[in-house]
Structure 1
Amino acid sequence: MAELIKIYNENPSEKEIQKVVKVLKKGGLVIYPTDTVYGLGCDIKNTSALEKVARIKGVKLEKANFSFICEDLSNLSEYVAQIDSNTFKILKRNLPGPYTFILPGNNNLPAVFKKKKTVGIRVPDNAISQAIVNHLGNPIISTSIKDEDEVIEYTTDPELIKEKWDKLVDVVIDGGFGGNVASTIIDLTLEEPVLVREGKGSIDI
């Protein structure tokens, strides 16, 4: 049974954040709010947790396109190869924000992602996800929790999310109603930015 933990985005309780971090460090799975839709995530350094997420999503871990939730741009150099000043300016201008930017990965990527040439980076404009990453000390992976309903693509109510994911995850954070439009994905690995998916973030970057 998943635990539903209420955390306020305006002033996240350190005690509750630490509770979530403890679960992540033990290899637990957490559903948490971002500045777009609710995400399913785990500690990127915990391979068995990563495998659990891949199983839930029905993908092979080494082929999974999970994005990394970072606290800010200072996390970048840990997993991203050197980028030019123009790319950095785009990131600085739009993050934190509702974007996933695809960037060239480097050799520090977790072992299971070593074959990947790129990494999706997210810095949500959300105090809860930023606090989790800050206290954990490294990024968490993120994948959107889609709904099977043909009308509703994303569930926005944390209590309904808990009902549905109760047996699959360890914690559902209630950070209030989530959005129902995912992040805009932009590939910055080529000469010009390429729009992969239009979402909440403006495509005029």
Structure 2
Amino acid sequence: MARYLDVHPENPQPRSISQVVAMLRDDAVIAYPTDSCYALGTRIENHAGADRIRQIRHLDDKHHFTLVCADFAQLGQLVVLDNSAFRAIKAATPGPYTFILPATPEVPRRLAHAKKRSVGVRITEHPVAQAILRELGEPLLSSTLLMPGSEWPMTEGWQIKEELDAVLDAVVDAGDCGTEPTTVVDWTEGAPEVVRVGAGDPDRF
């Protein structure tokens, strides 16, 4: 049964955040809000957690997770940035964008694209996600909470709790945070290519 935490969307209660982080450190899989819909998350080193997320969403082992970071310093440890990418991504974060970039050795091989050795990273602006990430002190392995056969991600915490109670460890409910996923920008070839238009304005790239 999933633990249900009703968290203030702008001023999350420290006690609730500490409870979520303690569960993550104990290899929990959680549903949590971002600035572009709810997501599933677990620690990067939690192999079983990654498998559980794949099972929940009916994904194969080729699915590419996003590494959600607290800040630009954390993001910079995971991906290789040239000067133009550095400036453009710094200006666009935090925000509803996912950037696909060459991975550094810090990224476990199993999480990087097999051929390109790239990985998707983002810095979310949502105060609750930010609070979790800051206290956790490391990025979250994450995937949009889009269920098989659904056109839109799940948006209501109570609904997530009701439908996924048996397969999640915690649901962090901070109210509606939208249904539009991130805009995805691929920077692996040295120049930005928008590969999915979502909540972030693609025109800046």
TM normalised by structure 1 equals 0.92
Residues 106 and 40 of structure 1: CA distance in aligned 2, closer, same or farther (over 3 Å): same
**Alignment partner of 1:188 is 2:157:** no
Residue correspondences, number: 202
Partners of 1:28 and 1:42 within 8 A in 2: yes
Aligned counterparts of 2:138 and 2:31: Cα–Cα separation in 1: 17
The residue aligned with 2:31 is: 31
The residue aligned with 1:14 is: 14
Residues 115 and 99 of structure 1: CA distance in aligned 2, closer, same or farther (over 3 Å): closer
CA-based RMSD of the aligned residues comes to: 1.6
Secondary structure, aligned partner of 2:90: helix
The residue aligned with 1:133 is: 133
For structure 2, the residue ranges without an aligned partner over 5 or more in a row are none
The residue aligned with 2:83 is: 85
Partners of 1:38 and 1:178 within 8 A in 2: yes
Letter in 2 for 1:176: G
Flag as ranges the 4+ runs of structure 1 deviating above 3 A.
Answer: 147-150
Residues 48 and 153 of structure 1: CA distance in aligned 2, closer, same or farther (over 3 Å): same
**Alignment partner of 1:66 is 2:50:** no
Cα deviation per residue 1:104-144 (whole Å; 9 max; x = unaligned)? 10111125325641111111111111111111111001111
Aligned counterparts of 1:174 and 1:38: Cα–Cα separation in 2: 9
Aligned counterparts of 1:18 and 1:38: Cα–Cα separation in 2: 19
Aligned counterparts of 1:109 and 1:60: Cα–Cα separation in 2: 20
Aligned counterparts of 1:47 and 1:171: Cα–Cα separation in 2: 18
Aligned counterparts of 2:79 and 2:178: Cα–Cα separation in 1: 28
Cα deviation per residue 1:32-74 (whole Å; 9 max; x = unaligned)? 000011000101122221222223233344x221001100101
Aligned counterparts of 2:162 and 2:83: Cα–Cα separation in 1: 45
- After superposition, where does 1:43-58 map in structure 2 within 5 Å? 43-58=43-58
Residues 98 and 86 of structure 1: CA distance in aligned 2, closer, same or farther (over 3 Å): same
Aligned counterparts of 1:66 and 1:106: Cα–Cα separation in 2: 16
For structure 1, the residue ranges without an aligned partner over 5 or more in a row are none
TM normalised by structure 2 equals 0.92
Cα deviation per residue 1:53-97 (whole Å; 9 max; x = unaligned)? 223233344x2210011001010232112x111101111111000
